[in-house]
Protein backbone atom coordinates (compact mmCIF):
# COMPACT_ATOMS: atom_id res chain seq x y z
CA UNK A 1 0.00 0.00 0.00
CA UNK A 2 2.73 2.49 0.86
CA UNK A 3 4.37 1.86 -2.55
CA UNK A 4 1.11 2.87 -4.21
CA UNK A 5 0.93 6.14 -2.29
CA UNK A 6 4.57 6.99 -2.90
CA UNK A 7 4.02 6.89 -6.66
CA UNK A 8 1.02 9.18 -6.74
CA UNK A 9 1.55 12.63 -8.13
CA UNK A 10 -0.37 15.57 -6.79
CA UNK A 11 -1.26 17.88 -9.64
CA UNK A 12 -2.33 21.38 -8.71
CA UNK A 13 -4.06 23.38 -11.36
CA UNK A 14 -3.69 27.16 -11.28
CA UNK A 15 -6.89 28.95 -12.19
CA UNK A 16 -7.95 32.54 -12.43
CA UNK A 17 -10.37 33.61 -9.69
CA UNK A 18 -13.95 33.05 -10.76
CA UNK A 19 -15.10 36.47 -9.57
CA UNK A 20 -12.90 39.56 -9.73
CA UNK A 21 -15.60 42.13 -9.06
CA UNK A 22 -18.48 41.42 -6.67
CA UNK A 23 -21.34 43.80 -5.96
CA UNK A 24 -23.16 43.59 -2.62
CA UNK A 25 -26.25 45.83 -2.50
CA UNK A 26 -27.13 46.58 1.12
CA UNK A 27 -30.20 48.02 2.80
CA UNK A 28 -29.02 47.77 6.43
CA UNK A 29 -31.15 44.84 7.52
CA UNK A 30 -29.97 42.07 9.83
CA UNK A 31 -29.16 39.82 6.87
CA UNK A 32 -26.72 42.21 5.17
CA UNK A 33 -23.79 40.91 7.19
CA UNK A 34 -24.46 37.38 5.89
CA UNK A 35 -24.36 38.64 2.29
CA UNK A 36 -21.09 40.48 2.95
CA UNK A 37 -19.57 37.34 4.50
CA UNK A 38 -20.63 35.18 1.54
CA UNK A 39 -19.18 37.73 -0.88
CA UNK A 40 -15.94 37.86 1.11
CA UNK A 41 -15.64 34.07 0.94
CA UNK A 42 -16.17 34.15 -2.84
CA UNK A 43 -13.72 37.01 -3.35
CA UNK A 44 -10.52 35.12 -4.04
CA UNK A 45 -7.39 36.63 -5.46
CA UNK A 46 -5.44 39.73 -4.57
CA UNK A 47 -7.04 41.89 -7.23
CA UNK A 48 -10.64 41.08 -6.30
CA UNK A 49 -12.88 44.06 -5.69
CA UNK A 50 -15.89 43.97 -3.38
CA UNK A 51 -18.32 46.89 -3.71
CA UNK A 52 -20.91 47.66 -1.06
CA UNK A 53 -23.74 49.61 -2.69
CA UNK A 54 -26.67 51.37 -1.08
CA UNK A 55 -29.39 52.93 -3.21
CA UNK A 56 -31.40 55.70 -1.61
CA UNK A 57 -34.86 55.46 -3.12
CA UNK A 58 -35.90 58.73 -4.68
CA UNK A 59 -39.41 60.11 -4.68
CA UNK A 60 -40.93 59.88 -8.12
CA UNK A 61 -41.94 63.05 -9.96
CA UNK A 62 -40.11 65.31 -7.49
CA UNK A 63 -36.83 66.88 -8.69
CA UNK A 64 -33.85 65.74 -6.64
CA UNK A 65 -32.81 69.33 -5.96
CA UNK A 66 -36.15 70.04 -4.27
CA UNK A 67 -35.43 67.37 -1.66
CA UNK A 68 -31.64 67.66 -1.30
CA UNK A 69 -31.93 68.60 2.38
CA UNK A 70 -34.19 65.58 2.93
CA UNK A 71 -31.72 63.18 1.27
CA UNK A 72 -28.57 64.51 2.97
CA UNK A 73 -29.09 62.85 6.40
CA UNK A 74 -30.14 59.63 4.66
CA UNK A 75 -26.87 59.59 2.76
CA UNK A 76 -24.86 60.26 5.93
CA UNK A 77 -26.64 57.43 7.75
CA UNK A 78 -26.02 55.12 4.76
CA UNK A 79 -22.29 55.93 4.76
CA UNK A 80 -22.10 55.17 8.49
CA UNK A 81 -23.94 51.87 8.00
CA UNK A 82 -21.63 50.83 5.18
CA UNK A 83 -18.55 51.70 7.21
CA UNK A 84 -19.82 49.35 9.93
CA UNK A 85 -20.41 46.57 7.38
CA UNK A 86 -16.97 47.09 5.84
CA UNK A 87 -15.10 47.20 9.16
CA UNK A 88 -14.67 43.39 9.51
CA UNK A 89 -13.12 43.32 6.02
CA UNK A 90 -10.26 45.62 7.00
CA UNK A 91 -6.98 43.74 6.89
CA UNK A 92 -8.22 41.19 4.37
CA UNK A 93 -6.59 41.09 0.96
CA UNK A 94 -9.61 42.73 -0.64
CA UNK A 95 -10.20 46.01 -2.35
CA UNK A 96 -13.44 47.19 -0.69
CA UNK A 97 -15.39 50.11 -2.11
CA UNK A 98 -18.46 51.79 -0.65
CA UNK A 99 -20.96 53.59 -2.86
CA UNK A 100 -24.17 55.49 -2.19
CA UNK A 101 -26.35 56.36 -5.17
CA UNK A 102 -29.89 57.62 -5.72
CA UNK A 103 -32.77 56.25 -7.76
CA UNK A 104 -35.03 53.23 -8.04
CA UNK A 105 -33.30 50.37 -6.24
CA UNK A 106 -33.62 47.47 -8.68
CA UNK A 107 -32.86 49.63 -11.70
CA UNK A 108 -29.86 51.29 -10.08
CA UNK A 109 -28.39 48.01 -8.82
CA UNK A 110 -28.59 46.48 -12.29
CA UNK A 111 -27.27 49.63 -13.99
CA UNK A 112 -24.34 49.88 -11.57
CA UNK A 113 -23.48 46.21 -12.04
CA UNK A 114 -23.54 46.58 -15.82
CA UNK A 115 -21.67 49.91 -15.99
CA UNK A 116 -18.95 48.73 -13.60
CA UNK A 117 -18.54 45.28 -15.14
CA UNK A 118 -19.47 43.29 -12.04
CA UNK A 119 -18.95 39.52 -12.23
CA UNK A 120 -21.44 38.66 -9.48
CA UNK A 121 -24.16 40.30 -7.41
CA UNK A 122 -24.68 38.97 -3.87
CA UNK A 123 -27.78 40.26 -2.13
CA UNK A 124 -30.20 39.23 0.54
CA UNK A 125 -33.66 37.84 -0.06
CA UNK A 126 -36.28 37.06 2.47
CA UNK A 127 -37.90 33.63 2.20
CA UNK A 128 -41.20 33.75 0.34
CA UNK A 129 -44.45 33.42 2.23
CA UNK A 130 -46.22 30.33 0.79
CA UNK A 131 -49.54 32.08 1.31
CA UNK A 132 -48.48 35.06 -0.83
CA UNK A 133 -46.27 33.58 -3.55
CA UNK A 134 -47.42 36.11 -6.13
CA UNK A 135 -45.78 38.94 -4.20
CA UNK A 136 -42.28 37.46 -4.51
CA UNK A 137 -41.85 38.81 -8.04
CA UNK A 138 -42.17 42.37 -6.83
CA UNK A 139 -39.19 42.19 -4.49
CA UNK A 140 -35.95 43.95 -5.35
CA UNK A 141 -33.90 40.76 -4.98
CA UNK A 142 -36.02 38.77 -7.39
CA UNK A 143 -36.18 41.57 -9.96
CA UNK A 144 -32.38 41.80 -9.88
CA UNK A 145 -32.00 38.01 -10.01
CA UNK A 146 -34.11 37.78 -13.15
CA UNK A 147 -32.93 40.86 -15.02
CA UNK A 148 -29.24 41.35 -14.14
CA UNK A 149 -26.59 40.82 -16.82
CA UNK A 150 -24.41 38.72 -14.50
CA UNK A 151 -24.95 35.86 -12.04
CA UNK A 152 -26.86 36.72 -8.87
CA UNK A 153 -26.54 34.89 -5.55
CA UNK A 154 -29.46 35.35 -3.17
CA UNK A 155 -28.64 34.90 0.52
CA UNK A 156 -31.53 34.04 2.84
In a domain, 128, yes or no: yes
- Structural domain count, the chain: 1
Q: How far apart are CA 66 and CA 72, in angstroms?
A: 12
In a domain, 13, yes or no: no
In a domain, 9, yes or no: no
Strand arrangement of the beta sheet that strand 152-155 belongs to: 95-103, 49-57, 21-25, 120-124, 152-155
With 80 as the cut, is the pLDDT of residue 91 above it?
A: no
30 is in which domain, residue-wise?
A: 24-155
Q: How far apart are CA 52 and CA 32, in angstroms?
A: 10
With 90 as the cut, is the pLDDT of residue 64 above it?
A: no
CATH number, position 53: 3.40.50.620
Task: Report the predicted TM-score, pTM, of the whole model to 2 decimal places.
Answer: 0.84
26-52 pLDDT, tens digit per residue, is: 999 989 999 999 999 998 777 889 999
92-130 pLDDT, tens digit per residue, is: 778 999 999 999 999 999 999 999 999 999 999 877 777
In a domain, 95, yes or no: yes
Amino acid sequence: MSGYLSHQVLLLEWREPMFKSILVPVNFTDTDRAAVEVARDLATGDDCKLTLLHVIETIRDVPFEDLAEFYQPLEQKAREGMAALAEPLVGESLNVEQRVIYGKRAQEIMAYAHQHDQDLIVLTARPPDPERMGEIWGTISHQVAILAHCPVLLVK
